[in-house]
Amino acid sequence: MSVPLSQMWAVASYVIRQRLAGRTRYPLVLMLEPLFRCNLACAGCGKIQYPAQILKKHLTVEQCLGAVDECGAPVVSIPGGEPLMYPEIGRLVSELVARRSTSISAPTRSSSRRG
């Protein structure tokens, strides 16, 4: 899978700015986990062992955006749990896209459980 030219440019220019500023260590990717839940129950995953009140907690969009601002990384990945279970995923992605300073990925399990 190739990387889009715009993403390569954003990351390259970010790295150049960091180097010109004399920084040797800086974040490239923010792994933002706004929630802890998942729609699967994989045997090897420790998340399913947490109590329901922990699994129901999630960050607000404002908390997520604050983490993005604080980190400053040019790439934001929204893993999980399952990112599509986050109740405000549409708003979060819209806010991130509006900033145009970050590339966004949201790896998803893309499966549903029928019970």
Residue 31 lies in a domain: yes
Does the bond joining 66 to the residue before it have cis omega, within 30 degrees of 0?
no
Residues in a beta bridge with 58 = 35
**Closest by alpha carbon to 47, among 56, 76, 64?**
56
Q: Which residues, 6 or more positions from 17, have their beta carbon under 8 angstroms from its beta carbon?
A: none
Under DSSP, is residue 43 helix (H, G, I), strand (E, B) or coil?
A: coil
Q: What angle do helix axes 61-71 and 89-99 make, rounded to 10 degrees?
A: 30
pLDDT tens per residue across span 63-96: 999 999 999 999 999 887 688 888 899 999 999 9
User: Which stretches in the chain have pLDDT values below 70?
Assistant: 1, 46-48, 81, 101, 109-115
Residue 1 lies in a domain: no
pTM given for the model: 0.78
Q: What is the pLDDT of residue 111?
A: 54
Residue 64 lies in a domain: yes
Give the domain range for residue 42.
27-105
